A = this chain, B = another copy of it.
Amino acid sequence: MKIKETSEFSLIHSLTKKIRAAGSGSVLVGIGDDAAAFRMGNGKNLLITCDMLVEGRHFLRDKITPRQLGCKALAVSLSDIAAMGGVPRFAVVSAGWTPELEVEYAQEVYRGMGELADEFQVSIIGGDTVSAPQVILDVAVIGEMDGAPVTRAGAKPGDAIAVTGSLGASAAGLALLREEEAAANLSEKARQALLRAHLEPYPRVKEAGMLLKYGPPSAMIDISDGLAGDLYHICESSGVGALLEVSRLPVSESVKQAAATLGSSFLDWVLYGGEDYELLMTIPPGCVAGVKKAVEMLGTNLSVIGKVLHKREGIKILSKKGAAFELEPRGFDHFAAFK
């Protein structure tokens, strides 16, 4: 079977099934969550995650500035650490550069990465620099936390499903990059906001700190595959069902305007678009008010968008008119998207 005939998740499973069994005693979370976690023996737990961006697959050099690219390459890994409830501390960067590239381009990538690292007090402490046929960035981030990592596996029936910020803006931004002519009909302000959401995702690290302090959530994931796909990851890991309510999904006016302008469905972007890098979580009912208040002290909305059901009840979405549908289990398959 060829790589293109498999899915990202079944490939990962087939590659790592033997490794999963081997995990050592100090490993708290192995392959298959947003980040791995291991015990340090002093009450602290460390987290580690890595994300690779390949030119032509994850970005086009003429659509993203090098500063934005550096920023995004780090942001996606910071987001994974946040999704476990951790505080990012250190990063190492493997970079592949094409021989014909201007050195200034690489410097701008590092400038973008350095700015975001400074903002979150993350130290870039090492890496590797190689020659490659296209630009490649792989950032590994180490985070730490005192308590237990928040995995995808703790959701319980009755928990509220909540999400930070708003959804669909990154997918809208990607659509605008692909259809530049149509995009010209959109207000400049909306266009800028959506492009920024796609090109400069902002990891919810501070929000994760508040969530841990005033929660913690029973399960959490960052939205990289789209709300539907990532909700499925939580439901599968936790052995639960879920009900989402369309009327409660946080969607900005800019996203709605862009969908209208491009003749697209904003709900499609929200559910299946991916790369929002918002935190999707489940919260025990008694904690919802406190958690919401804490996150909103940071100026970030926290929206309750549904609730966790028993597994036998399935994974559903309630339309604005009150009809319940099975939620399609597809997510944005980063792997399939470029086959």
Contact = CB atoms under 8 A, between A and B. Distances in A.
Interface of A: 1-6, 8, 11-12, 14-16, 18-19, 22-24, 26-27, 29-31, 33, 35-36, 38, 40-42, 44, 46, 48-52, 54, 56-58, 89-90, 92-104, 106-107, 110-111, 114, 117-118, 121, 123-134, 136, 138, 140, 142, 334-335, 338-339
A130 B40 contact: no
Nearest to A338: B131
A11 B96 CA distance: 12
B54 A16 contact: no
Nearest to A123: B24
Nearest to A16: B110
A126 B44 contact: no
Contacts of A89: 24, 26, 38
17 contacts: A2-B99, A2-B101, A2-B103, A4-B131, A14-B107, A24-B123, A27-B123, A30-B126, A42-B42, A42-B44, A48-B142, A49-B126, A50-B93, A50-B94, A50-B138, A54-B133, A57-B130
A42 B146 CA distance: 13
A8 B127 CA distance: 12
A23 B125 contact: yes
A15 B129 contact: yes
Task: Determine chain A's interface SS by DSSP, over half rule.
Answer: mixed
A140 B35 CA distance: 14
The 7 A-B pairs of least Cβ separation, nearest first, read A42-B42, A4-B99, A36-B126, A36-B125, A52-B94, A140-B140, A138-B138
A18 B101 CA distance: 21
Nearest to A339: B99
Contacts of A41: 42, 44
B52 A130 contact: yes
Contact of A103 (B1, B19, B40, B138): B1
Given A49-B92, A131-B338, 12 more contacts: A3-B102, A3-B106, A18-B114, A22-B114, A36-B125, A38-B90, A38-B123, A48-B90, A48-B142, A50-B92, A50-B94, A57-B96
Contacts of A19: 110, 114, 117, 124
A90 B36 contact: yes
B92 A22 contact: no
A150 to B, nearest CB: 16
A31 B131 contact: no
Most central of A15, A18, A41, A118 by chain B CB within 10 Å: A15
A295 to B, nearest CB: 26
A57 B132 contact: yes
